[in-house]
Structure 1
């Protein structure tokens, strides 16, 4: 979590610096594609205020992130998501607005591209987030067990080395490939003392079922502690 906070802070500072240099120092070449335009197009864009407003957009995106930054130290569970969401929507929405300052013959194309990016990126992230929140469960069979949902797999009991029920979860140090939310972790994460692990974790809902396989460690739990204990008993009985 600390790494995410630092990254967001660095991005905000870079936005402020970049936006300030473009807006107030007139270094418009930092805007993607500006230097590849003809001198006539560049001059027309400057007269319309396109590069200046682009600098302001980047600058105020960074300022907004800084203003929201204190919520990361509050009890609000979705602080990082709010900051990232603000950055994404403010920038992409700003790109749509900036299309009105494009040169006339490229204005329509700019609107289409900007709006398409907004729909694809915001819609895609919303869909992935919604899918990641879908539930998962652990199912046992005679020969093995299956974890359903995103990142779920099947394992044979023969591949299980150890099964434990933990009262507390070891420190999760880094997300490798997965969904890391304040209330939920699903996917592949680095776990202190266990290395690369597969997590299906509802945070603040102990206990946690630890399944050590010959491939990688697995940590899983349910919001209902009795369900987690039931999973442990079912797998432990099969492995012994």
Structure 2
């Protein structure tokens, strides 16, 4: 949690500094593409108030994130999603609104690009969130077992070197390539005492299955403790038969 809090604070501070520099110190070169414009276009944008409003947008976004920051200290499970969702939607929506201050001959093109970018980013994030929240299953087969869904894979029983049922999940420290949600972790993470591991974890739903393979470590559980225990027994029995 503290690492995530630090990231949020860094983003908020960065937006505040950039917004202040653009609005109060006329650091217009910090705005993407502004320096590459002709002198005439730059002067027209300044007269219309475009760069100043970009600075204000950054400052207001930072203040909004700061107001939402206390959510991280509550029991609300989706504080992170609300924080970053607000940041992206407010920033992208703001940039679409600011196209009205563009130079007239580029206003339509800028509006189309902003709308397209907004739809692409929001659509991509929505799709990622949807698939991230999709469940997974541990399926036992004759010679192998499979974990379905995003980041899932299939492994042979003969590659299992050990399997253990844990009542407590070791501390997960760093996300390498995966999805870390308030109630779910899927993908590759660093786990204290185990190094890089593949996680399919419903947080706070003990017990947890740890499977060590020849070239990989897997942690998995289900929301239902009985289902987790059933998976454990199924994989352990099949692994013992192939030893």
**Fold conserved between structures, TM > 0.5:** yes
Name the counterpart of 1:86. 86
In the TM superposition, what are the counterparts of 1:183-198 in structure 2 within 5 Å? 183-198=183-198
Q: Aligned residue for 2:155?
A: 155
Stretches of 4+ aligned residues off by more than 2 angstroms: none
Which residue matches 1:45? 45
Give the drift of 1:150.
0.6
- Whether the 8 Å CA contact 1:5–1:80 is kept in 2: the answer is no
Verify the 8 A CA contact 1:201 1:220 in the aligned structure 2: yes
Q: CA deviation at 1:226?
A: 0.6
3-state SS, counterpart of residue 44 of structure 2:
helix
Counterpart in 1 of 2:225?
Answer: 225
* Unpaired stretches in structure 2, ≥5 consecutive residues: none
Moved more, 92-101 or 65-74: 65-74
SS in 1 for 2:33: coil
Unaligned runs of 5+ in 1: none
Whole-Å separation in 1 of the counterparts to 2:7 and 2:136: 30
**Distance in 2 between the 1:36 and 1:144 partners?**
58
Q: Within the alignment, does 1:57 sit opposite 2:51 as a pair?
A: no
Distance 1:164 1:29 in 2: 57
Partners in 2 of 1:157 and 1:48 — Cα distance? Answer: 68
Q: Deviations over 1:140-171 (max 9, x none)?
A: 11111011111111100110011111111000
Q: Equivalents in 2 of 1:52, 1:122: separation in Å?
A: 26
Deviation at 1:134, TM superposition (A): 1.0
Q: Distance in 2 between matches of 1:237 and 1:40?
A: 76
**Per-residue deviation, residues 11-68 of structure 1 (Å, max 9, x unmatched):** 1011001101111222211111111111111111111110010010111111111111
Matched, 1:167 2:167: yes
Taking only aligned residues, the RMSD between alpha carbons, in angstroms, comes to 0.8
Distance 1:212 1:47 in 2: 64
Aligned length: 240
Q: How many Å separate the matches in 2 of 1:6 and 1:157?
A: 41
* 8 A Cα contact 1:177 1:188, kept in partner: yes
- Residue 205 of structure 1: how far off its partner (Å): 0.8
Give the C-alpha shift of residue 8 in structure 1.
1.1
* TM-score for both structures, normalised by structure 1: 0.98
Q: Which residue is 2:10 aligned to? A: 10
> What CA distance in whole angstroms lies between the structure 2 residues aligned with 1:103 and 1:82?
34
Name the CA distance, whole Å, in 1 between partners of 2:147 and 2:29.
Answer: 51
Per-residue deviation, 1:195: 0.4
Is 1:23 equivalent to 2:28 in the alignment?
no
